[in-house]
Structure formats: C-alpha cells, structure tokens
Structure 1
Amino acid sequence: MDGVVNHEGLTQASAARALASACGQVGLPCEHVDLLRLGENAIYAIPSEGVVVRVARADTDDIEQKVAKELAVSRWLASHDFPAVRPHDELPQPVQAEGRLVTFWEYVPLSQAEPALVDLAGLLRDLHGLPRPDIALPVLDPFPLMRRRLAHAQGIAQQDMEFLTEACDRSEAAFRSIMAEDAGGLIHGDAHRGNLLARDGQVLLIDYEAVAIGPRAWDLIPTAIAVDRFGLSPTDYTTFCRTYDGDVTDWHGYEPLRTVRELGMTTWLMQNAHSGPAAAEFALRMDSLRKEDRERRWHAL
C-alpha cells in the first residue's frame, strides 16, 4: 500500500489519507481541517486544536533526514530567541502514515496585519547574523531535488522534460563554481513573504525544509527576481535592500544563481501543472525560459 501511495504523488486525496492516519495515531481530532497549501508538502490547519499538520511527500531516507532537520532547526532557533514557529512537541513526531512522514506544529491564526517585505529583509539580516548552528546541516544543493521532481513528473510533455533536464545540466557548473568560492553560512533556503506569519505584533519566519549552509545571496535572490517576474515595485525593492543592507543584484553571482532559482520555481510548479491555472502558468514559464526572456511576467500560484 505504501509503495502505491508514494508513486501516486502528493494529491489532495493522498495527503488527506495520510493526515487522517497520522492524526488517528496520535489521538488528534481532524474532523474540521483547512488545507493551507499543497506543494512540496501538504499543510493543514486544525484551529480548534491549535495545531498545523505538515504532510511530506514520502517517508524515504532523504525526506526523513529533511524532516528531522526541520524539527532540529526550529528548536535551535527557539534557543536563540529567534522569531520562528515551534514544533508541537506535545505530540510524538514525526509519524509515518500512508507512506509519508507527518509532523505537527503550533498553529498561528491569520492576522489582519500582513507581513511586509521589510519584515522579510529584517528577519533575513538577523538570521544571517546568527552563529553557525551546532546541528548537522546540509550544504546548499538544489539539483537533486529538481532532478527528483523531473524523474517523478507525470503528465508533462517530453520536450518540456528534456529542456528542463538540459537546463539543470547547463546551470550546475556555474553553481558549483560559486559554491567553491563562497560556502557562506546559515540560510533559510526558501525566503519569501509566503513564509512569514504575524502574531501579536511580531513577524515569524516559518518553513525550515530548505535550511542549509550556503551563500546568503540565495535568500535574497527571490525578492530581486520579483521585480521582473512578479511586478514588485523598484521602490519596494530598494527599501528591502536598505533594510537588509545590501543589493544582491550587484553581486557577480546573481545571474547564474537567478537561473538556478527560476528552474527550481518552475520544477516546483510542474508537480501540480496538470490542468487549470497551474498548467497555464507552467506553459508561460517554460516559454520565457526557452526564449531567455528575463522580464516576462510570471504569476504566483
């Protein structure tokens, strides 16, 4: 059964089965849940219990290591009083359910005060200023994940698969060269406003799946990309740079790392690009990548 579920992919149906199984194992009621996000993981809220449930794509060794890292990073950040979401350690975790790993986190209700870009800049500045953690962290390497997405992709045209595979191959050499000259330090790995939550006047940085050791520029590039791709105003970007105290677009490694970032964003979307808005957006991104159109507007989904 588990093997079948793993190959099925992370869909609303398969994630819901894992959610129900995991909650049943720990005695957590899950009759009234809200699906917050379906992407690399499925994220559910159970407001009545004050719990967020995170369902990973599988329970393979690599994902098991990643889940253990998320929990360890959250606890380490708490020990440094960094504003981050905490694991719900009153429950046993992680839990294996339907061929997937499930973890439990504190629930932060939606706030009327939406976190701003300057909040992200300040959090990244403070995160990058922390000492190197005394826990085992991987060195930044986005290529295995992108290639795994390509290997398990379903319903994607062969020419798109071939283009993305070749694009990953072309960009990897430049990435390795940058890593050789700048191993960097602690990075969040997936820094954007979607990974911020507001609580009682404080903004929290969430989602530690991609935390690693790497060039700090990796955390700044998504905001820089947003000017061209998602319509972020240059004025807002200037404020972001002033708050962080640096502009990543002035760095010689910006263009090659931007390419890797955009490939990651596209292969992430590919996982759900079977129909509807996700399929249309995937086609748009593929066209802009093929044409090397760096200013083509993308849409956040």
Structure 2
Amino acid sequence: MDVHEPHATLTEANARRAMLTACDSSGLTQPRNAKLLRLGENALFALPEAGVVVRVARSTEMAEKVAKELAVARWLARHGFPSVHPTDAPQPVEADGRLVTFWEYVPDSAPPTSPNLLAALLRDLHALPDPDFPLPVLNPFPIMRRRLEVASGVKREDVRFLSDACDDAEADFRALVDSSPGHLIHGDAHRGNVLSNGHQALLIDYEAVAIGPRAWDLVPTAMAVDRFGLPSDEYADFSQTYGGDVTEWHGYSVLRTTRELGMTTWLMQIAQSGPAADEFTLRMESLRKGDLEQRWHAL
C-alpha cells in the first residue's frame, strides 16, 4: 500500500516516556501506574492516587497553545465557571521534546448522555466577557494541514483528497469568520469534553479556545443528528436550552464542512489499524461522495 510516512508521531509509548520524565522532575510519585485516558492531538494520563491528570502535548512547537490552555483555565476559575483547573505545580515541563502539564483529576463517571448539559455550559460560557488577554482568531486549518504533513499509515490518495478539500473549504470559512462577530468560544465543544464531578457538569479541554463565531461551538451537536444518530428531539432540546438553532444560520454549512474535515484529519492520526482505520475509510468514502447523511461512529 502506498502510504505517507511520518516525520514525528505521538504514541502511547513515547508519550508515557515524556510523562514519566516530567513527573520525576516535578516530584510526582507512582506515575508508572498511570492510565492512558486519551491519545490524539495530546496524550492524557490519569494518576488517581495523586489526584492529577498529566497532559502530554505533541511537541514543544505547541508552546503558545499550551500557555493559552493554562491561561484560559485559570481565567475560567476566577470567573467561577465549571471547569477543570491546572495544579499549582510549575508548568509546563519540557520532557523528551514534548510539553507536559498537570491538571486536577476528576474521577471517572458515566459521561453525560443529555446534550442539554453541554448546551447550558455553552450558553453560560458565551455569556462571559471576552478575556483580558489575547486569544487567537478561530482558524482550524493550520492544525489540519500539519496533521496531513505528518500523516502516517494512510493512503497518499486520502491525504491528497483531504488536502484539496481543505483548500476548497478555507476561503469560504475565512470569509464567514471575517464577516461574523467574534467572541470567546470553546472551539471543540462536544459531549466528550463534558465531565461530571458527581454534582456538577464541567467543560474541559481548552486547547482550541479562540475568538470566533459562537455558532462554531454549536455545530458538533447539530451535525450529530446526521452523523452520529443523535435523536432529533434531543437536538431540539439542546437548541431550546442554548437559545437558538444553529442549522438555521446562513453559515452553518460552511462551518459543518470545516468541522467534518477537522474530525476526519484528527481520526487519521490513529487510523493505522483496527476500528479507527475502518472508521477513517467510511468517513473518506462519505466525504468523497458528498454524502451528508452517512452515519459515522465516535471512537
């Protein structure tokens, strides 16, 4: 098979190595029992006994983004917004060419099943004032192109198709963002980024926080009706709780196209085998056909 080879990859093994090095330099004990929670753009490891989640960023080139995550989390905490806080440890820590940060651990619990919790969090987030420190303008294309540049174990023809699709989508996206009011947005708002600490829902993951149209945060739930089988009545409740239906906005289709490219290039990073590879193939087929109703599967 003709594949695109990597320049650098984030794997569980090299992420764990960076995590162990950073924990050692920060005085955290018993990190060898750390459980991998997530592997994608970053790697997240849970250290329940220490009450810490360790987040390993892909490379030191993400320094500005990591600094933004920490600043946003501290700002949200000052405003009393339900969020996850970084620990007091000096951070970020550079380890094995990666940047490592430390966050409070929220014990595992059943993920919220109702999108209404997300709707309420987004409604309250969007009601906050814009932060008093600079944030980037929403632009998901650089990270998509970076993923494509280092793509590993996927067909070159798929990489080329996604690259061309990004070229086709970017001009419309930029025009829409430039012509729309820009405010604080989460940037990656889906139910997987909502945790429950037992009595309160928390909005987590501030990597994609930016200034942009608030509609961007609503698109993942709207498109979930077609792509992931979200019942239409649950989406209606989501829209009512938030206070509006993003599918009625003139820019919805542009944002949805961009979002789907982002979701597919994210999946591409782990699509070398198994269920992820099968799902990547399915998504590529639907994108090539322009099929907006093909059911996708969350991984």
Q: Does structure 1 retain, via aligned residues, the 8 Å contact 2:184–2:210?
A: yes
Deviates more, 1:154-163 or 1:67-76: 154-163
Q: Match for residue 136 of structure 2?
A: 138
Q: Match for residue 252 of structure 1?
A: 250
Q: Match for residue 283 of structure 1?
A: 281
* 1:95 alignment partner, one of 68, 93, 96: 93
Q: Please give the TM-score of this superposition, normalised by the length of structure 2.
A: 0.96
Q: Tell me which amino acid in the other structure corresponds to 1:218.
A: W
Deviation of 1:112 (Å): 4.7
Q: Match for residue 9 of structure 2?
A: 9
Q: 1:131 to 1:49 in 2, by over 3 A?
A: same
Q: Per-residue CA shift, 1:128-176, capped at 9, x if unaligned? A: 0100100110000001000000001112211111110000000011101
Q: Distance in 1 between matches of 2:110 and 2:159?
A: 41
Q: 1:161 to 1:113 in 2, by over 3 A?
A: closer
Deviation of 1:26 (Å): 0.6
Deviation of 1:279 (Å): 0.5
Identify unmatched segments of 5+ residues in structure 2. 1-5
Q: 1:150 to 1:97 in 2, by over 3 A?
A: same
* 1:229 alignment partner, one of 224, 227, 232: 227
Q: Match for residue 81 of structure 1?
A: 80
Q: Distance in 2 between matches of 1:183 and 1:245?
A: 17
Q: Does structure 2 retain, via aligned residues, the 8 Å contact 1:41–1:54?
A: yes
Aligned residues: 293
Q: Does structure 1 retain, via aligned residues, the 8 Å contact 2:112–2:191?
A: no
Identify unmatched segments of 5+ residues in structure 1. 1-5
Deviation of 1:243 (Å): 0.1
Q: Does structure 2 retain, via aligned residues, the 8 Å contact 1:189–1:210?
A: yes
Deviation of 1:92 (Å): 1.4
Deviation of 1:241 (Å): 0.3
Segments of 4+ moved more than 2 angstroms: 111-116
Q: Distance in 2 between matches of 1:222 and 1:202?
A: 22
Helix, strand or coil at the partner of 1:81: coil
Q: Please give the TM-score of this superposition, normalised by the length of structure 1.
A: 0.95
Q: Distance in 2 between matches of 1:201 and 1:45?
A: 21
* 1:172 alignment partner, one of 162, 170, 173: 170
Q: Per-residue CA shift, 1:57-88, capped at 9, x if unaligned? A: 0011xx10000000000000011110010001
Q: Tell me which amino acid in the other structure corresponds to 2:34.
A: V
